[in-house]
Amino acid sequence: MSMRKKSLLVGINYTGSENELNGCHQDVENVAEFLSYRGYSDDPRSQVILRDDLGGMYYPTGHNMLAAIDWLVSEPGTCNFFHYSGHGGQVRDPTGNHPSGILDTICPVDFRQAGQIDSDTLHQHLVTRMPPNSTLFVILDCCHSGSALELPYVYKSDDEGNVNMIDNIREGVHLMSEASDLFMGGSRFNMAEAQDLYAGATNFFRSFKHMGEQQAPGLGADEDNAIHSRILGIV
């Protein structure tokens, strides 16, 4: 029996604002067409589209986006697809758990009033709550998208369209190895640098601590969009 497929597509042009973009609505249409060829239904029970030319519950406020994300990962045994096209940003980390002091974000249409959705919140709603026996594909078409979900594997395209996989776990192991070498060196300069590397590596692994946990399902300024990075993450 094939897995039930669900999709959530978000496109925000920030129409009429100083942050206006072009093409995010079209991005959603293009991805919806692609998904139709991959066996995803456009039935409202299986696909939700949020755009800022739509109203009500389909208007991409922060509240509506998180509610839709909770809906996406609310059923076990599903293949889920999340696409976001819009602005990405960065905010200060209020927890102090990230050595950089910065969290990557995505920006709802009302981000100036209600705030941005940071990587910790996005991970909590989209990844940590994902039920058993489910798969999640994510495309974030925005700036600062590389660590917006803190996933172990991401695929990033360069300016020429070549796609490369980034193994975040391997990067974390590499940082730990470099830190260990510096600790063995023993000088005061090396110790400071090693501590920084160790903190970075620890943060890599801390971000994966929820992977595989079973939890109750929930229900509920950038450059022009043409040069936004595209990140595909797979859980």
Q: Which residues pair with 92 in a beta bridge?
A: 102
CB count in 10 Å sphere of residue 126: 25
Residues 50 and 138 in one domain: yes
Burial (CB count within 10 angstroms: exposed 0-12, middle 13-18, buried 19+), residue 137: middle
CB count in 10 Å sphere of residue 190: 15
Residues 147 and 227 in one domain: yes
Question: Is there a contact between 77 and 3 (Cβ–Cβ < 8 Å)?
Answer: yes
Residues 199 and 219 in one domain: no
Residues 81 and 64 in one domain: yes
Per the domain annotation, does 157 fall within a domain? no
Indicate the SS3 state at residue 152: coil
Residues 199 and 214 in one domain: no
Task: Count structural domains, the chain.
Answer: 2
CA 213 to each of CA 61, 91, 130, 208: distance values in angstroms, whole numbers, following the listed order: 28, 27, 9, 10
Per the domain annotation, does 161 fall within a domain? no
Per the domain annotation, does 159 fall within a domain? no
Residues 100 and 132 in one domain: yes
Task: Show the beta-strand stretches assigned E in the chain.
Answer: 4-11, 47-51, 78-85, 88-92, 102-106, 117-118, 135-141, 153-157, 163-167, 230-234
Per the domain annotation, does 179 fall within a domain? yes
Per the domain annotation, does 158 fall within a domain? no
Reported as half-sphere exposure (CB side, CA atoms, 13 A), residue 138 has a value of: 25
Q: Which residues span the domain enclosing 19? A: 4-152+208-234
Per the domain annotation, does 192 fall within a domain? yes
DSSP code string of 107-151: --TTHHHH--EEHHHHHIIIIITPPTT-EEEEEEESTT-TTSS--
Residues 130 and 185 in one domain: no
Per the domain annotation, does 16 fall within a domain? yes
Q: What is the pLDDT of residue 73?
A: 95
Q: What is the pLDDT of residue 27?
A: 95
Residues 68 and 183 in one domain: no
Residues 188 and 218 in one domain: no
List, by residue number, the catalytic residues. Answer: 87, 143
Tell me the whole-structure pTM to 2 decimals.
0.68
Q: What is the CATH number of the domain that holds 134?
A: 3.40.50.12660
> Over its length of 235 residues, how does the chain's per-residue pLDDT go in tens digits?
678 999 999 999 999 999 899 999 999 999 999 999 999 999 999 999 999 999 999 999 999 999 999 999 999 999 999 999 999 988 888 777 766 678 889 999 999 999 999 988 998 999 889 888 999 998 888 886 555 566 666 666 666 767 565 544 455 445 445 545 555 554 444 444 444 444 444 444 444 443 333 332 222 233 333 333 344 444 4
Per the domain annotation, does 163 fall within a domain? no
Separation of alpha carbons 160 and 157, rounded Å: 8
Residues 189 and 75 in one domain: no
Residues 114 and 213 in one domain: yes
Q: In what order do the strands lie in the sheet with 230-234?
A: 47-51, 4-11, 78-85, 135-141, 230-234, 153-157, 163-167
Residues 180 and 68 in one domain: no
